[in-house]
Amino acid sequence: MLTVNTGPQSDIAVLTATGAIYDKLKGEIVKLTRWPGETISRSEIAEEFGVSSMPIHDAVRRLGNDGLVETVPTKGTFVARIPLDTLRTALEARRILEDKVVRRAAECAAAGDVQRLRGALQGQREAILQRDDLAFHQANEEFHRTLAATASYPFFWEVCSRIKLPIDRALRLAPSGQEQLYRFHADHQAVCEQVSRNDPDAAAEALASHFQAVRMVVERAIRQYPECFTGSWGVTETPAPDPA
């Protein structure tokens, strides 16, 4: 059990406790340890962390700003369902941002950059063989983070990490089997290959194919767990049915 005992709650102690509570709840929500719609007990958090209400309130406020929790007056605090309009916007925003990143990365990638990308790919492959979804997710993050570093966009990943929160949650709802993970790995290999050839257009095309595969998994999650989402996917656009 993670415990933060602040004692006399100075400003620094409150900030420390707030960060610890925020990080733990955020991780549990994104990893689906806490399910959309589930009640978050502030009294249980206070007991676990040994804190007063102030750092809990601040952590919940931050999570609310991230779209991860919602507080209903007189009813309580709940894990937020995933708004479909936000999810759709996040998919499009990330596609646009990473298109720019991968093109720039392909223009300026050096041998060392390609080696680091291939290291992340090796981590993905090892995770697939070990059937370790968490390790695959971490290696996937490292691949995209390395693309951003190669493109010399130092703040990109910080922005993207926030944008992609609803995408991460939806992907967790529809766990990818071995075949799907191999597809994602192959997509990343194709991106890496075109970056190594310094071919921006081909790299962008490979990444676009990957995002199409991601979108298909997200749409499967919407079909399988409609109770975890809220709002509309779009007036003229609905998730395609599963193949017969």
Domain positions in the chain are 11-80, 84-230
% of the chain residues with pLDDT over 90 = 74
pLDDT value, residue 14? 62
pLDDT band at 241 (very low <50, low <70, confident <90, very high): low
Q: What residue type is assigned to position 116 of the chain?
A: R
Note the pLDDT tens digit of each residue in 185-217. 999 999 999 999 999 999 999 999 999 999 999
For 115-157, write each residue's pLDDT tens digit.
999 999 999 999 999 998 889 999 999 999 999 999 998 788 8
Class of domain 84-230: mainly alpha
**Above 80 in pLDDT, residue 13?**
no
What confidence category does residue 234 fall into, taking pLDDT thresholds of 50, 70 and 90? low
Position 9 pLDDT exceeds 50: no
pLDDT digits (tens, 9 = 90+) for 152-188: 987 888 888 889 999 999 998 986 678 889 999 999 9
Work out the angle at residue 237's Cα, subtended by the Cα atoms of residues 220 and 161, and round it to the nearest 5 degrees: 60
- Residue matched to tokens 């570093």: 149
- Domain made up of 11-80: CATH architecture: Orthogonal Bundle (1.10)
Q: What is the 3-state secondary structure (H, E, C) of the chain?
A: CCCCCCCCCCHHHHHHHHHHHHHHHHHHHHCCCCCCCCEECHHHHHHHHCCCHHHHHHHHHHHHHCCCEEEECCCEEEECCEEHHHHHHHHHHHHHHHHHHHHHHHHHCCHHHHHHHHHHHHHHHHHHHCCCHHHHHHHHHHHHHHHHHHCCCCCHHHHHHHHCHHHHHHHHHCCCCHHHHHHHHHHHHHHHHHHHCCCHHHHHHHHHHHHHHHHHHHHHHHHHCHHHEECCCCCCCCCCCCCC
The pLDDT, as a whole number, for residue 20 is 92
**Whether pLDDT at 62 is above 90:** yes
Could you tell me how many residues make up the chain? 244
Examine the pLDDT at 244 and tell me if it is beyond 60: no
Span 67-95, average pLDDT: 94
